[in-house]
Amino acid sequence: MSKLLRHILMVATPVLLLLVNVAVAQKATSVTEQKSRVEQYKRDLEKTKREVQELKKQKGSATQRVATLTKQMNLRTSYIAETERKIDLLTIEADKLDKEIDSLALALKHNKEIYAEVVRVAYRNYAANNTTTYLLSSTGISDATHRMVNVRHIAEQRALLAEQIRQQGRRLVSMRQELRTRRTELDSINRSLEQEHRELERDCDEAKQLYDKLSADERRALKEQKRQQKQLEEATKELRKLTDGNKVGKGFSTTSKDLNLPVEGGKAEKIQTNMVKITGTKNSSVRSIYEGKVVRIITDNTNHSTVMIAHGHYVSVYSHLSKISVKEGDVVKRNQSIGTIGIGVDHKGTMSAYMQFMIVNTESNAPVDVMDCFKK
């Protein structure tokens, strides 16, 4: 057997193995995570779309429609931003895959050339000095054994080279198909993104038209509702550490049913999934829905207060109270009075005695549909 043939196989085999391993594309975890984020925003957006449509059917107040439409625009803007981020990650991944395909194609071409040379060298060697003659020309048993090992090794390496070339070919076909799939996915997402931009423009136009029709009282009510919502959002950022290790009221959960409204004789009206407006009469008592610990009290510049009570890792939030009868750190019982209802212009632009109520899950931040908790 020629030295050239052995040298080609010895050099080609480890290089080929390295090229096959390098060519295997790894999916970025960040892409998977980003897809999950986009899908969550999409679900939230679809839910808000249904709320907007329901308000239109029921001819809900203009302030309600503006508030819900604003929420929809905010969600749509976030969805667009997250989708653009997803497109960037997919583009990077597709470009990387494209480069890997080029590298693998070059490696495959090179290894096919090596294999062709191996076959030519083997044929020339066989024609000039076949295997039998090679073995019989041994100088002794030791030399014959060594020559037999060489023959087997060369045959095994040639077979391995051929199999690895087949694997590379199959991998190249698979990677090209994957790249086509990625490019198709990118095209689809870009078309969807263009549609979302158009929908956002329509939302903005509709919101502006609705807002222009609002009365001065309705605009003030809408501004107040936004302020309260912002206040709650800022306050709830601290709730996780405030409820850490809290055992008081830990029996509360989203499956808790038949709870009394925070306002005796009050009437609940859903504002959004995790928030309701509860109307009552002047000086109506506001009570805790469940046993718990008062973890935060906030008083705004209108002298209305927000009381937050932790029940395990859940927090019930009572906003727009005129007076409060508890302090931070107090442990309260179920149905215990914590203050009185506030008076002001509600989200419909009318003066009334009302409060806003919500429940926050500090472990998952998943919205809790509070209407399901109360006695029907």
Whether residue 165 is found in the same domain as residue 254:
no
Classify residue 89: in a domain, yes or no. Answer: yes
Letter string b/e over residues 102-130, b meaning 16 or more CB atoms within 10 A of that residue's CB: eebeebbeebeebbeebeebbeebeeeee
pLDDT tens digits, 115-126: 887 777 666 655
**Given this model, what pLDDT does residue 291 score?**
94
The reply to whether 225 falls in a domain is no
pLDDT, tens digit (0-9, with 9 covering 90-100), for 256-268: 777 899 998 899 8
254 and 204, same structural domain? Answer: no
C-beta of residue 103 within 8 angstroms of C-beta of residue 23: yes
Phi-psi region of 237 (alpha: psi -120 to 50; beta: other; left: phi over 0): alpha
User: What is the domain extent for residue 117?
Assistant: 3-211
Kindly state whether residues 162 and 264 are assigned to the same domain: no
Domains in the chain: how many in total?
Answer: 2
Q: Are residues 203 and 283 in the same domain?
A: no
**205 and 246 assigned to the same domain:** no
Provide DSSP, 50-116. Answer: HHHHHHHHTT--HHHHHHHHHHHHHHHHHHHHHHHHHHHHHHHHHHHHHHHHHHHHHHHHHHHHHHH
Q: Which pLDDT tens digit goes with each residue over 188-205?
A: 888 888 988 888 888 888
* Partners of 278 in beta bridges: 268, 355
Question: Per the domain annotation, does 341 fall within a domain?
Answer: yes
pLDDT of amino acid 132: 58
- pTM of the predicted protein model: 0.45
Of 170, 190, 211, which marks where a domain is finished? 211
252: phi then psi, degrees, rounded to nearest 5 = -75, 145
In a domain, 259, yes or no: yes
| 144 and 36 within one domain | yes
Residues 18, 128: one domain? yes
* Residue 174 and residue 69 share a domain: yes
For residues 11 and 18, give the distance between their C-alpha atoms in angstroms, rounded to a whole number.
Answer: 12
